[in-house]
């Protein structure tokens, strides 16, 4: 097998070499992974990334009596219903919960004073979002991660009317089946306005929030998810070396 280190041996056919190299470099989009999208305090979008997202039905959530504990969040557009890693308390904005954002006044689910993190187990999906607001007023760091590797990192959330949406979508064959929410607040947090989806819509919307990926910065190999600029530079260098060597 010809290697870059074997600089003293000229490959037999230059065109074949370049075609083979081009064929072995994956054409996947850079950083293929679960992508985080900061939805901010705006109302939930109809799509996250390349997937249409359906909001949970609020009727069965609203029907739960206020201040009751539950480990099941009803209303998922795909079966089964969402479950929580420990019981949460159903409250309503304006009745047991002081504020939210973008005019939402529906049901929320509060961790009470149980120290996070909280894991939500959801129906397998290609995209998902959830809005989170800490209990203590002020700027509180919230982070959300998925089972498939996507992570928001710490996001500062204003607990006074600043409920923030955390969206994720897949770019390969991953399935999101759980998300874990953590907040730097000993009083806990509330979450609400969940949505998930499977159907693609083509153009990413809204714009993804740039996040680092451990695979960035290196050449792709079969089975990896990114094709970096380093690979393109390598291909260009090989082409230049071949042209110079062939003309001598």
Within-domain flag for 207: no
Within-domain flag for 64: yes
Within-domain flag for 166: yes
Q: Are 125 and 197 contacting, i.e. CB atoms less than 8 angstroms apart?
A: yes
Domain housing 80: 35-197
DSSP string, 94-136: TBEE---STT--SEEEE-TTPPSPEEEEEEEESEEEEEEEESS
Predicted TM-score of the model (pTM): 0.70
pLDDT for position 217: 31
pLDDT for position 142: 96
Within-domain flag for 247: no
pLDDT for position 117: 93
Within-domain flag for 19: no
Within-domain flag for 131: yes
The string of pLDDT tens digits covering residues 100-126 is: 999 999 999 999 877 679 999 999 999
pLDDT for position 173: 82
Instruction: Report d(CA 126, CA 49) in Å as an integer.
Output: 10
- Provide the 3-class DSSP secondary structure of residue 118: strand
Containing 145, the helix (H) or strand (E) segment is strand 139-146
- Establish how many alpha carbons lie within 13 A of residue 122's alpha carbon, considering only the half-sphere containing its beta carbon: 30
Low-confidence ranges of the chain (pLDDT < 70): 1-32, 115, 202-248
Within-domain flag for 11: no
CATH code: domain of residue 157: 2.60.120
Nearest 5°: the CA angle 132, 146, 203 is 85
Helix, strand, coil percentages, rounded to 5, for the chain: 15, 35, 50
What does the block give as tokens for 237? 């260098």
What does the block give as tokens for 20? 């083979």
User: In total, how many domains does the chain have?
Assistant: 1
pLDDT for position 206: 57
Within-domain flag for 20: no
What does the block give as tokens for 156? 């500062």
């Amino acid at each position: 097998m010809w290697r870059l280190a074997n600089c003293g041996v000229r490959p037999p056919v230059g065109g074949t070499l370049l075609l083979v190299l081009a064929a072995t470099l994956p054409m996947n989009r850079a950083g293929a992974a679960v992508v985080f999208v900061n939805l901010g305090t705006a109302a939930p979008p109809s799509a996250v990334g390349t997937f249409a997202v359906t909001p949970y039905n609020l009727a069965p959530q609203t029907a739960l009596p206020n201040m009751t504990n539950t480990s099941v969040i009803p209303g998922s557009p795909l079966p089964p219903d969402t479950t929580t890693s420990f019981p949460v308390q159903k409250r309503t904005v304006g009745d047991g919960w002081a504020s939210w954002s973008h005019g939402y006044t529906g049901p929320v689910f509060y961790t009470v004073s149980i120290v996070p993190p909280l894991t939500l187990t959801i129906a397998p999906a290609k995209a998902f979002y959830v809005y989170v607001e800490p209990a203590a007023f002020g700027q509180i760091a919230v982070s959300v991660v998925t089972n498939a590797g996507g992570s928001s990192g710490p996001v500062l959330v204003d607990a006074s009317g600043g409920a923030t949406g955390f969206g994720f979508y897949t770019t390969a064959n991953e399935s999101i089946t759980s998300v874990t929410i953590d907040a730097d607040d000993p009083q806990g947090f509330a979450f609400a306005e969940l949505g998930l989806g499977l159907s693609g819509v083509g153009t990413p919307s809204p714009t993804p929030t740039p996040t680092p990926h451990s695979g960035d910065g290196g050449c792709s190999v079969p089975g990896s998810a990114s094709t970096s600029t380093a690979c393109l530079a390598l291909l260009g260098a090989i082409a230049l070396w071949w042209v110079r060597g062939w003309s001598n």
